[in-house]
Structure 1
Amino acid sequence: MNEKDKAILKNRILEFLYLNKSSLWGLDRLEDNYGKKAPSKGHFRELIKEMSETGSRYFDYNWDAVPHPYFKANDFTKEFLDAGGFVNQYESKKEADEQAARLLMQDERIKNQTEENLRLTTELNRQRLKTHWIPIIISLVGLGIAVASFFRPSNNPSKPVDDNRLQIIEMKMEQIENDLKKDLDS
């Protein structure tokens, strides 16, 4: 007997109690009327105990009346049945369980996506570190070479050539000067 069938049977028992609310009904009489729908007497008694635990304000009962506990409808029985009774409770509980399962699955998906995001972010940061440090290192090496060449004396081969030209020009000027002096003296 599944939970929905149990809820339907509980509602039928409550309807029976409500329709016969002027009488007290013993467990044996309820078993005679509705016990055949349960797999066994033990299952039926368990069903009645569940009713008294979950819907105790919707009917009156006394388990202490040994050897015959009794049950009777009260003022809240009709309202409870009109609202759907135990079937409504079952459906509400089922819906809440399904919602909890959906939320659990959603939380699991969020957790998995967060872990994947963290893994990808870590991988991306490692890649950024590689791509940023390589140009930085190359730039620093180039800067070091530039600074070193700035402070190192130059072995520029064009400088001696310029010095030789200057010497040649100076020699020609001296020669012209000497020639002019000779011409003036003569």
Structure 2
Amino acid sequence: MLKNNRANSTEWAIENGWLTDVEIQPSSHFEPRDKNESISLLVVHNISLPPGQFGGNYISDFFLGHLKPTADPYFESIYKMRVSAHCLIKRNGDIVQYVSFNDKAWHAGVSRYQDRDKCNDFSIGIELEGTDDIPYTKEQYQQLSQLSRALIAAYPALQNNIVGHCDIAPGRKTDPGISFDWQCYRALLAENG
């Protein structure tokens, strides 16, 4: 389902776990959250497919389980993986949502935060189209901060629990990497608040 993507929006609406006015591509790579589990962690990731290349539909194909192993030699090693994120923020700021925030996306893998394992159980995963060492775009920072504000409004426990994938899977993951400007993101988050 394709909706108009508001790249310059100052406010996002969330209805039944879904953003309004963004591209929705429902993934089957999710599971229901335990109804007694509160959403209390926002995890920032990065992804590019093939690695270091931007644009195209390969990331969506990957999260939807449609990645063709013959499209790039790298895909032969990942096309059978069943992973997803709640949202992807592309280089131009467009957002694609794959999994309802009320459900568990499969983004964190083996992970731990504040003495709790299995971060997928209580987190929301946002992917930025990027790499550890290529700067992210101003549109991505703007959209991430606006999306974060909407998520915090809907799930207040996220307020003080925003981390990188590297923070919950140290030694295993490095994203969003040294190129992610946490100071810029937090300043925009405060400014939009």
Larger RCO (CA under 8 A, 6+ residues apart) = 2
Category of TM-score, reference length = shorter chain: under 0.3
Which one has the bigger strand percentage?
Answer: 2
Query: Between Structure 1 and Structure 2, whose CA radius of gyration is higher?
Result: 1
More helix by share: 1
TM-score normalised by the chain length of structure 2: 0.20
